[in-house]
């Protein structure tokens, strides 16, 4: 095969581009808005976008398609069980598109695609044991073990945001208490800030309090303040880093990975967040895993879905 099409399937837009076996993007991607009104219309629109991409990128001779989308996905079956932002419920998406387009199609969830991207062409390029933690509104995970993606028995592995780290802790949307997601996500960043805002010990500049009055005390705004050096916001990030550290210690003890890659919107805090979390791991994890593991920020950013989707196609058909 010369190339595959990597596809980042989002609720409002779809990005498609040719990817080689090393995860390199061979051309600027085609980006189309996606109409998420009803399953049939959505799939029809996706099919049309893919046909257009096959024509646009024909000189790269793409011979397979790899889709990355958010949600619960069984890659082996090509099935989307459910998705937070797509009108797909128990839809055999890979099979439908494969029959329509006449070339092999594979499906991966966005967390799996992201770790595949980072392990082949990103922060962990060349490593064989890589765990990725994606810190967005929630917390997602992906596992690259013994040099390949690990999906579990039914595509449900790597739900690292729903590891219980405080059994009597805050209720999570999954129905359990104390999931990592409640303490190490963008949501958590906003909530920690809420508690600290307006107290002169934890919000000495009053910046958190001002954001709250404006109704803008979100993870994103707190991150921005922290990057600007606000003491109160930096305290919030420090609190999050302690919980992230617990998550990283757990990952280190379970997987003994060469690297844990931290991505997602909250991960863009970079060393402000990852520095103290990394120090926590060095203080709290056990040898030999502690002495091996590195903790690094993701490199692919918003290219992760497209590149990782493409690499999933290479892994399946290359």
Chosen residue from 46, 97, 163, 262 binding a second copy by CB under 8 A: 163
Q: For helices 219-227 and 231-255, what crossing angle results, to 10°?
A: 110
78: left (phi over 0), alpha (psi -120 to 50) or beta: left
Q: Which x/- pattern, by CB under 8 A, does the window 182-211 give for a second copy?
A: ------------------------------
Chosen residue from 12, 146, 214, 302 binding a second copy by CB under 8 A: 146
Residue 33 has φ and ψ, to the nearest 5°, of -75, 150
The helix/strand/coil state of 158 is coil
Question: Scanning residues 104 to 143, which ones bind a second copy (CB under 8 A)?
Answer: 128-129, 141
Chosen residue from 55, 167, 201, 302 binding a second copy by CB under 8 A: 167
User: Which CB atom, from 47 or from 256, has the smaller least distance to a second copy?
Assistant: 256
Tokens in use for 18? 């040719």
Q: Which x/- pattern, by CB under 8 A, does the window 245-284 give for a second copy?
A: -x--xx--xxxxxx-------------------------x
CA angle 44, 79, 89 (to 5 degrees): 65
82: left (phi over 0), alpha (psi -120 to 50) or beta: beta
Does residue 243 interact with a second copy by CB under 8 A?
yes
Chosen residue from 164, 170, 234, 296 binding a second copy by CB under 8 A: 164
Do residues 193 and 178 make contact, with C-beta atoms less than 8 angstroms apart?
no
Chosen residue from 1, 234, 289, 296 binding a second copy by CB under 8 A: 289
Closest separation in Å from C-beta 296 to a second copy: 15
Question: Based on C-alpha coordinates, what's the Rg of the chain?
Answer: 20
Tokens in use for 119? 């392990």
Stretch of residues binding a second copy (CB under 8 A), selected from 60-68, 175-183, 192-200, 304-312: 175-183
From the list 152, 153, 155, 142, the residue with the least C-alpha distance to 257 is 142
For 299, other C-beta atoms within 10 Å of its C-beta total 16
Closest separation in Å from C-beta 152 to a second copy: 3
Binding region for a second copy (CB under 8 A): 72, 74, 81, 128-129, 141, 145-146, 148, 150-160, 162-169, 174-176, 178, 243, 246, 249-250, 253-258, 284, 286-289, 291-293
């Amino acid at each position: 095969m010369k190339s595959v099409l990597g596809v980042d399937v989002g609720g409002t837009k779809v990005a498609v581009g040719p990817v080689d076996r090393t995860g390199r993007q061979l051309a600027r991607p085609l980006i189309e808005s996606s109409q998420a009104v009803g399953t049939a219309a959505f799939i029809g629109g996706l099919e049309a976008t893919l046909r257009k991409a096959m024509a646009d990128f024909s000189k790269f001779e793409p011979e397979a398609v790899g889709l990355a989308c958010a949600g619960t996905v069984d890659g082996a079956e090509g099935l989307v069980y459910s998705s937070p932002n797509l009108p797909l419920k128990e839809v055999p998406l890979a099979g439908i598109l494969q029959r329509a387009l006449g070339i092999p199609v594979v499906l991966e969830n966005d967390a799996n695609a992201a770790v595949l991207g980072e392990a082949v062409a990103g922060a962990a390029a060349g490593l064989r044991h890589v765990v990725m933690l994606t810190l967005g509104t929630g917390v997602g995970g992906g596992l690259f073990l013994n040099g390949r993606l690990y999906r579990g028995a039914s595509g449900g592995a790597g739900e690292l945001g729903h590891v219980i780290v405080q059994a009597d802790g805050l209720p999570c949307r999954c129905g359990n208490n104390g999931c990592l997601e409640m303490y190490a996500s963008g949501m958590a960043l906003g909530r920690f800030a809420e508690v600290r805002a307006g107290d002169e010990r934890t919000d000495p500049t009053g910046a958190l309090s001002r954001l709250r009055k404006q109704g803008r005390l979100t993870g994103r705004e707190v991150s921005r303040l922290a990057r600007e050096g606000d003491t109160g916001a930096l305290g919030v990030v420090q609190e999050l880093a302690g919980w992230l550290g617990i998550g990283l210690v757990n990952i280190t003890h379970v997987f003994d990975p060469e690297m844990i890659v931290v991505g997602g919107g909250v991960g863009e805090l970079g060393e402000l967040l990852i520095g103290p979390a990394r120090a926590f791991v060095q203080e709290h994890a056990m040898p030999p895993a502690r002495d091996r593991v590195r903790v690094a920020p993701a490199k692919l950013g918003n290219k992760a879905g497209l590149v990782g989707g493409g690499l999933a196609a290479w892994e399946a058909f290359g």
